[in-house]
Amino acid sequence: MEKIIGEPKKAFMTGNETVAWACLAAGADIMFGYPITPQNEVMHYWTRLAPKYNRNFLQTEDELSAGFTTCGAVQAGKKAFTATAGPGNVLMQEPFGMAEAMRLPVLSIIQQRGGPSSGTVVYSQQEVTLTTYGGNGEGHRIVYSTATHQEVYDYVIKGFNTAWKYRFPTFVLGDGYQAKMREPLEMYDPQDKGIEIIQPYPLIGIPGKIGEDREPQHLCNIYSLEEELYEVVMRVSAEYESISPEIVEFQARNCEDADIIIISHGVVSRAADDAVKILRAQGIKAGYFRPITLRPFPQQQLREVITQSGAKYLLIAESAYGQLERLIKQEIYGETVEIETLFMPGVGIIDFDIIKKVKSII
């Protein structure tokens, strides 16, 4: 693997620039993209960096095409990625569905903006449903929701590995704040952190005679018989469920004796973390739980936290009107803990908002 960064070094940059550097360090071959705010600078920085490192870029005519060309490139054995947001994410659901159907190791970076429709170009957490369960399939995807530039860097590198290891479409779910803000992070070459990068491999045109030297490759997104499709979806579902335990990631802090557990994801978890510290200092027993993977969801871990703490309340805080809440409710069905919500669709949430809400509950 080519070394890009050299000695691990500190940097101060935007999240979009961080994405471009992480893709470079992870050994990405090519980006396909179509401009949309707040993702544009991923493309801008990538096009600036790519030629220097012999990587490629193609701007397509729209997001459908950007998604499908990414699907094509990974079949040819290229480590390919795309990045989009908002309405672009909507359009990409069709290629993402194909990636689910054909088990294509596509990595996509989503920088959520306000919705519905063109909404705002600024920020939201309103693409959770779309990114986890969009398309006409079963949500066989892996979705990492990042909170800091360091995580953006770490999970882009990890995301490529996850995609190529498990062959489920993988997403790094950021947002307009993370895309546009500047904050410090450490950049590194994965090999210097003991991270083994999975090399891409072609899925089509592979040598050997079918039936003698190798099994046939079934890269199929349409079936003649309903029974055929049923079998495939059931098999893929079982496989997705069996690998989920090794993929799920979460953070839990101060939950052991908590009366109220604040659940948030992505950039909002930074405010939740601060809120819990302040509440604890005031003698209020608040806990912090954050799913890092929204798909698969850390269901078991959240159930355990609820049971062990004996918490009376969950407070779900998100910059959307219940998209995280719906995910959580389906995952913890049957738990009797009371669920309270702080929905602020399309706007940022700060520690003050959460503290105020907690005090109105307890």
Partner 1 sequence: MSLIRIALAGEGGQGVQAVAEILTEAAYNENQQTIYIPNFGLEQRGGVSIAFIQFSDQRIGAPKFNKADVVIALSGRAIGRTAGYSDENTLFVYDSGFDFDKEDLPKEAKKIIAIPAVDTANRVLHPKVFNMIIMGAVIGLTKVVSFEAAKEALEHKLAYKFETNPDLRELNIKAMEIGKQMAEKSLQEEVDNNG
Among positions 258-287, residues that touch partner 1 (CB under 8 A) are 267-268, 270-271, 273-274
129 or 150: whose CB is closer to partner 1?
150
Positions in 5-34 near partner 1 (CB under 8 A) = 12
Q: From the CB of 96, what's the least distance to partner 1, in Å?
A: 27
The C-alpha atoms of residue 2 and residue 327 are separated, in whole angstroms, by 40
Of 17-25, 46-54, 91-99, 180-188: span binding partner 1 (CB under 8 A): 180-188
Phi, psi of 347 (to 5 degrees): -130, 160
* Minimum distance, C-beta of residue 49 to partner 1, in the bound complex (Å): 19
94 makes contact with partner 1 (CB under 8 A): no
| Torsion, CA 121, CA 124, CA 125, CA 128, rounded to 10 | -30
Which residues in 215-254 contact partner 1 (CB under 8 A)? none
From 88, 249, 279, 242, select the one nearest 168 (Cα to Cα): 242
Cβ atoms 114, 122 nearer than 8 A: yes
Using CB under 8 A as the binding rule, the residues of this chain from 335 to 354 that contact partner 1 are 348-353
Q: Is 76 in the site for partner 1 (CB under 8 A)?
A: no
| Nearer of residues 102 and 349 to partner 1, judged by Cβ | 349
Query: How many Cβ atoms from other residues are within 10 Å of residue 206's Cβ?
Result: 12
Least separation in angstroms between CB 124 and partner 1: 13
List the 250-253 sheet strands across, edge first. Answer: 250-253, 286-291, 260-263, 313-318, 338-343
Does position 186 bind partner 1 by CB under 8 A?
no
Size of the site for partner 1 (CB under 8 A): 23
Among 3, 9, 48, 182, binds partner 1 (CB under 8 A): 182
Report the C-alpha gap between 242 and 245 in whole angstroms. Answer: 7
The stretch among 104-112, 182-190, 202-210, 326-334 that binds partner 1 (CB under 8 A) is 182-190
* CB neighbour class for 241 (10 Å; exposed up to 12, middle 13-18, buried from 19): exposed
Question: Which one of residues 184, 202, 245, 310 is an interface residue with partner 1 (CB under 8 A)?
Answer: 184
For residue 120, give the nearest of 319, 316, 267 by alpha carbon: 319
- Determine contact, residues 268/344, Cβ cutoff 8 Å: no
Contact residues for partner 1 (CB under 8 A)? 12, 37-38, 121-122, 177, 180-184, 267-268, 270-271, 273-274, 348-353
